[in-house]
Amino acid sequence: MRQESKIKRRTSRQIMVGNVPVGGDAPISVQSMTNTDTRDIAATVAQIKSLEAVGADIVRVSVPSLEAADCFGEIRKQVTVPLVSDIHFDHKIALRVAELGVDCLRINPGNIGSKDKTKAVVSACKDRGIPIRIGVNAGSLGKDLLRKYKEPSAEAMVESALRNIEMLLAEDFNEFKLSLKSSNVFMAIDAYRAIAPQIEQPLHLGITEAGGLRSGTVKSSVGLGLLLMEGLGDTIRISLAADPVEEIKVGFDLLKSLQLRSKGINLVACPSCSRQNFDVISTVNELERRVEDITEALDVAIIGCIVNGPGEAKEAEIGLTGATPSSLIYADGKPHHKIANDNLLDELEAMVRRKVAEKQAADSNILARQS
């Protein structure tokens, strides 16, 4: 049975990234970033749509040149998910994508140029209702901060963030979110903890350059999990040297584990032992692969024997308890029917899809009655 999270989230100012609310009482959003050449419009659009398909709330696109900015404008026309453009050094690129319909600018005001250039970017954002994400990274701190602190540190990151924030506040601009990323988990945690009570704006969480699919998932889960449990964070990115689609999957899995979001299949499965009555591992992995397109929230339990099986199955919307010669399927906490162990996968997938269809139909009926 799905439970509400016990985490008390930090109160933050809400901003809008396109049609996605970030901060306040909005759900924590999950985002990723394209790794295609932005000038390759077809490839970038295809990747964005693949991210949309697995539930991405927001997608960031790097825009390193004016040529890429013009391509970004074409990309913007072909997708519906809110897009954040990643801009460094050249304020003219920021102004161009603002004209072309960007939903949020990710900049570091300290490296965008002179105060006049920063003012021009902020003015464009004000006129068009575009929020800004201030991105502070331990790997690109200013030289003066590195001289002062000798090396990257949480204190240096916070000072950099406060400088950048002051530039925006001086222009009476409050519609921004902030990230303080490091590949060092402890540094990132300390920086977010230190800045949180000093500002009211939303926090974008991430452990930057976390690593490959396995190691990066572990590192991000440790760092972001701890911060999220403390109530910090309004939007997240899992930074992996892997297919960006995996970043979205891991992000939602992390939020589901903390009961902060319920999107997609929440799969409860035993690690298996000699008591198992069917091949639990292959069944779970194959079912997960088959239903990864589903974004509707659904609890599914797959347990290999009758020791913990009935208890877990009763708490899930669909549950399977292993037995011999047939296993028992539960539906909404009650025994439903038995099934031969050589036909588990097809039957489980069919039940999941039927249940999802039922929930979607029920939601549609509720909306129809409300309208």
Q: What percent of the chain has pLDDT over 90?
A: 61
What average pLDDT does this structure show over 8-19? 95
- Cis peptide bond N-terminal to 325, omega within 30: yes
The model's pLDDT over 206-260, given as tens digits with 9 standing for 90+, comes to: 999 888 999 999 999 999 999 999 999 999 999 999 999 999 999 999 999 998 9
The model's pLDDT over 154-192, given as tens digits with 9 standing for 90+, comes to: 999 999 999 999 989 999 999 999 999 999 999 999 999
pLDDT given for residue 194 in this prediction: 97
In a domain, 8, yes or no: no
Q: Does 225 lie in the same domain as 189? A: yes
Question: The tokens of 106 are what?
Answer: 């990710």
The model's pLDDT over 306-321, given as tens digits with 9 standing for 90+, comes to: 888 788 888 889 999 9
In a domain, 1, yes or no: no
In a domain, 9, yes or no: no
Q: How confident is the model at residue 63 (pLDDT cuts 50, 70, 90)?
A: very high
- The tally of domains found in the chain comes to 2
pLDDT at residue 371 tops 80: no
Q: What percent of the chain has pLDDT over 70?
A: 97
pLDDT given for residue 1 in this prediction: 47
Among residues 241, 257, 273, which one ends one of the domains?
A: 257
Q: Does 349 lie in the same domain as 329? A: yes
Quick one: DSSP state of residue 203? B
Give the CATH number for residue 39: 3.20.20.20
The model's pLDDT over 268-288, given as tens digits with 9 standing for 90+, comes to: 888 888 888 888 899 999 998
What average pLDDT does this structure show over 132-150? 90
Among residues 257, 279, 300, which one ends one of the domains?
A: 257
- Max Cα separation, the chain? 76
In a domain, 4, yes or no: no
Residue 4 amino acid letter: E
H, E, C per residue of 132-198: EEEEEEHHHCCHHHHHHHCCCCHHHHHHHHHHHHHHHHCCCCCCEEEEEECCCHHHHHHHHHHHHHH
pLDDT at residue 85 tops 90: yes
pLDDT at residue 2 tops 60: no
CA distance 160 to 137: 9
pLDDT given for residue 361 in this prediction: 85
Q: Does 289 lie in the same domain as 187? A: no
Q: How confident is the model at residue 110 (pLDDT cuts 50, 70, 90)?
A: low
The overall average pLDDT reported for the chain is: 91
Lowest mean pLDDT among 40-54, 197-211, 335-349: 335-349
CA distance 197 to 355: 43
Q: Does 275 lie in the same domain as 316? A: yes
Residue 342 amino acid letter: D
Model pTM score: 0.86
Among residues 206, 236, 257, which one ends one of the domains?
A: 257
In a domain, 3, yes or no: no
Q: Does 226 lie in the same domain as 273? A: no
Nearest to 107 by CA among 94, 96, 117: 94
What average pLDDT does this structure show over 34-46? 96
Q: Does 207 lie in the same domain as 80? A: yes
Q: Are strands 15-17 and 20-22 parallel, antiparallel or unpaired?
A: antiparallel
Question: The tokens of 323 are what?
Answer: 């037995």
pLDDT given for residue 312 in this prediction: 85
CA distance 58 to 44: 14
In a domain, 161, yes or no: yes
Give the CATH number for residue 366: 3.30.413.10
CA distance 244 to 239: 8
In a domain, 140, yes or no: yes
Q: Does 65 lie in the same domain as 26? A: yes
Q: Does 271 lie in the same domain as 242? A: no
Q: Does 90 lie in the same domain as 176? A: yes
Q: Does 271 lie in the same domain as 197? A: no
> Is the Cα torsion angle 72, 79, 239, 153 positive or negative in sign?
positive
Structural domain of 271: 265-370
Q: Does 280 lie in the same domain as 243? A: no
pLDDT at residue 3 tops 60: no
pLDDT at residue 57 tops 50: yes
Nearest to 35 by CA among 249, 254, 245: 245
Q: Does 66 lie in the same domain as 101? A: yes
CB 59 within 8 A of CB 32: yes
